[in-house]
Structure 1
Amino acid sequence: MSQTINLDLVQEMVTNYKTKQYLSIITNKINPMTFDAQSVRFNLASLKAFIETIETEVASHPQYDLQNLGIRFYFSAYPADDLWDQPGYEDIANLPAQYEKLHTLIGIPAAEINGLDCDFDPLDVKTYNGTKPIGPGCAIMAENHGPLTPPGNPAGLWF
């Protein structure tokens, strides 16, 4: 089934972001920024692989009966680039330094667990009850790496 959204509504929503949230970001006196990312592009093959891994891992553990699988996208921002060579930052160490402090999205698997919409890690059955894992060096299944604009070339963007 194809999903559509009225083009004028899309334009209005993007404009709302640019004239409200984005404007607040670039005029902020406490955390001044000259610009911020306004879009992130995810490679379709990467997203399909991410979804396939979620589905495969969940299917291999039917006893948990997870329902209504999805991906929750969190608005997030990259840390200062002077940290990127430190332990724990390996996943972003090879990104362009211009991404420092810019907005991005992080996709985390989600499912209906005991009637609640919960994040979980398909690679860790201990999270299949919605419990967030803890511990030093803990890694979870997530999707993040996609080119940001700006600083990328805005040619080709519609909004």
Structure 2
Amino acid sequence: MNTESNNPLQPGTMSNSLIQALIDNYRQNHLNAINTALGIQDAHSIWFDLPKLKNFIAKIEEEAAKVNPAATGDDLGIRFYYATYPKQENWSIMDSHPVPTEYAGRHTLVMVPTLKKANETGELIDYDFNPFQSAEGKSLALNAPGVNMSAKGMGEDDDTSLGENNGVLIPPKAPFGESF
């Protein structure tokens, strides 16, 4: 029985063999290249507990509703950005977001909300957006047509955004419980 994730009748399902093939592709190519080039043992996975993910989703919905009540669940999403923690010598940038220092230089994910908005041709695009920065009661879809991306134009001196990244990296944590 083939139950791949691209089957619209069975969303959220993938065969174990496809999961393993995709993970193996990453580890044998990208991860191996990163580890060799940087001389480190980079993280190959990140774990988030379900309450953290649910709370982040609820916070997106709550904050989006405050600045744009017309936005529906179908308009909202989450974009996962690949990211890297700073090197140990630059760790002070993490002061406002405490993370174990053994994560220095390793991969992570940063999740940011997205909002559907029509571009110049009317095509609906999932734009990154920050519900903490709004104009005339509308949440800004960052990089959308007519949106000023400069920090001063989006929130004056406020550098706060809605995002999440505080998961458990493996390694440095032991891979106990991993199947792939």
Alignment TM-score > 0.5, same fold: yes
Partner of 1:16: 25
CA contact (8 A) 1:64 1:128 kept: no
TM-score (norm 2): 0.76
Q: Deviations over 1:41-76 (max 9, x none)?
A: 112111111111111122233456465210000000
Q: Structure 1: which 5+ runs fail to align? A: none
Partner of 2:173: 152
TM-score (norm 1): 0.85
CA contact (8 A) 2:77 2:113 kept: yes
Indicate how the Cα distance of structure 1 residues 63 and 150 shifts in structure 2: closer, same or farther if over 3 A, else same.
closer
CA contact (8 A) 2:131 2:162 kept: yes
* Aligned AA (1:134): A
- SS of 1:125's partner is strand
Percent of residue pairs identical? 31
CA contact (8 A) 2:87 2:105 kept: yes
2:110 is aligned with 1:106? yes
- Partners in 2 of 1:45 and 1:116 — Cα distance? 28
Q: Structure 2: which 5+ runs fail to align? A: 1-9, 119-123
Partner of 2:140: 128
Higher strand share: 2
Deviation, 1:2, is: 6.1
Greater Rg over alpha carbons, structure: 2
